Structure 1
């Protein structure tokens, strides 16, 4: 017997105190009330940086790049420095000269990283110069702080500067011995990283002496990008040149990040031309509108088997 074409609308959530917290939530979610409308539950934000200029670079600074900064401007014209990470994993700090730094690599976060960072930035904007920034419990469920998209000038492009170390932490400060020792310890963990010129959020990194990698945060929708990569893979056009290998990809904050293995002894700057050639091939593959061939479908399945999600 065919199912009815009409579906019953989910019931609205009841007022607090009118339902057993352990009972199924009347909204139809299938969750217990205490874990759904009874707890202020909201679904995770898949792309927290969507709408911000340079969304792929936001993802890169959050997940890939050890030491980098970028200037930001708020809607009321105040200058802020975005940093990949701050001392001790602090979400934000205000220097004695009033300079505000916002750290994107938070030690804790909720299902909406943009709101977590917005909460930290809002607290920093209100904090006096040289005073600790107390944004409250970052990553707490039900946070009502603003999102970055509400606080930042969305017309200003994101211009990333990659640093060899964390020296920018102490710029313009009279650092003591303890701060310098902490800086030295942090610098020892920095992997050599270079942002390729003219290719968006394409970052070369050398984690050791045997191999280097190119990690390229792509702005395209996942399904379209996977189809394009599958077309290139089936045509043996997915590599970046001799001695390179497509290693796989991972998802981060709603975007796909393809990764290539590269020879460690080739300088980062020499990958600009191969990256540009690949970008041209990818653009053509993205423009293709026909269905995937059998070989391309098999290639797509192989690509998916080497794709993981960062959480």
Structure 2
């Protein structure tokens, strides 16, 4: 199916002194001569200028922490979605997916069901609005067809918070691979989908969501295992609490584990622990639940940090990075 061209302004502004740059297709070379695609060069600047970055795009959605995890941490996962007004006729189900073949924003299967991909390029700074626009388009796309390009959104257009049922919890299911792309588990992928499936499965990092705490994901890498835990607490209060625990020698998850820092993603903070390579996901369950209790006590503390706690806090913030 031919890709639709998004309506775009005729020019965008290059860095000072360069003059205006003609706008081209998102995947075409940028006319400024950088060698990068337009969407990764001047197209990105134009999109960001058009829409101010929304730092917590999933705020107010049930399972905000898991939305962030599925966007940034988890290779292969799905979760059922429920619309406020119910599914339209001819759409038997709606499913959130981490990534889809060829990084399609969405896919409408032959039976009319819709998969919405959360890990793809979006045209503006409001991820929630962009995903809502993709979802709206997917619901009316011809069965058996993907949405290959995220549609343009305007300020004031619906966001996910406007479309999804606020009372329906997000319940992610983590998969070992990407066979959920296929309509039928017995069906064989062909052509570009088969090639994309093979690449995705080869690159997927084994990942498990813990059952006992919210939005904590274990993963296995060749050198060591990790636990990455998306937390809903205000950043400053959370870092203070982690510093209190770290200074007290209580920030780990058991023998051989270590809190190595944190990163920011979509307005939330994600602490990261190194784990021994022999520590499986199920062995993290009890230590994580106990840590959650210690963290709650540390979050409730109101006194100033001690000198040792301030040093611990400095170490944590010096290693902190921001993904978006």
TM-score by length of 2: 0.79
8 Å CA contact retained: 1:57, 1:217: yes
Kindly provide the CA deviation profile for residues 280-304 of structure 1, in whole angstroms up to 9, marking residues without a partner as x.
Answer: 1001001111222222122111111
SS of alignment partner, residue 240 of structure 1: coil
Alignment partners' CA distance in 2, 1:66 and 1:194:
10
Q: Does 1:80 align with 2:99?
A: no
Alignment partners' CA distance in 2, 1:88 and 1:257:
28
1:255 corresponding residue in structure 2: 268
SS of alignment partner, residue 305 of structure 2: coil
1:240 corresponding residue in structure 2: 253
Alignment partners' CA distance in 2, 1:135 and 1:188:
25
Kindly provide the CA deviation profile for residues 164-202 of structure 1, in whole angstroms up to 9, marking residues without a partner as x.
Answer: 000100133854532334322221111110001121100
Alignment partners' CA distance in 1, 2:301 and 2:183:
49
8 Å CA contact retained: 1:123, 1:135: no
> Greater CA deviation, 251-260 or 178-187?
178-187
Greater Cα radius of gyration, structure 1 or 2: 1
Alignment of 1:70-149 (within 5 A): 70-78=79-87, 79-133=93-147, 136-137=150-151, 142=154, 145-149=157-161
Q: CA deviation at 1:54?
A: 0.3
Alignment partners' CA distance in 1, 2:321 and 2:69:
16
1:67 corresponding residue in structure 2: 76
Unaligned runs of 5+ in 2: 1-15, 17-47, 88-92
Kindly provide the CA deviation profile for residues 44-83 of structure 1, in whole angstroms up to 9, marking residues without a partner as x.
Answer: 1110000000000000000000000000011111231000
Alignment partners' CA distance in 2, 1:291 and 1:40:
40
1:264 corresponding residue in structure 2: 277
1:228 corresponding residue in structure 2: 241
SS of alignment partner, residue 46 of structure 1: coil
Find 2:166's aligned residue among 154, 162, 168: 154
1:43 corresponding residue in structure 2: 52
TM-score by length of 1: 0.82
* Count of matched residue pairs: 271
1:214 corresponding residue in structure 2: 227
After the TM superposition, which parts of structure 1 deviate over 6 Å for at least 4 consecutive aligned residues? none
8 Å CA contact retained: 1:118, 1:151: yes
1:26 corresponding residue in structure 2: none
Kindly provide the CA deviation profile for residues 100-147 of structure 1, in whole angstroms up to 9, marking residues without a partner as x.
Answer: 000000134421111111110011122232234366546x7x566421
Alignment partners' CA distance in 1, 2:123 and 2:273:
29
SS of alignment partner, residue 73 of structure 1: coil
2:295 corresponding residue in structure 1: 282
SS of alignment partner, residue 304 of structure 2: coil
2:66 corresponding residue in structure 1: 57
> Greater CA deviation, 127-136 or 183-192?
127-136
2:183 corresponding residue in structure 1: 171
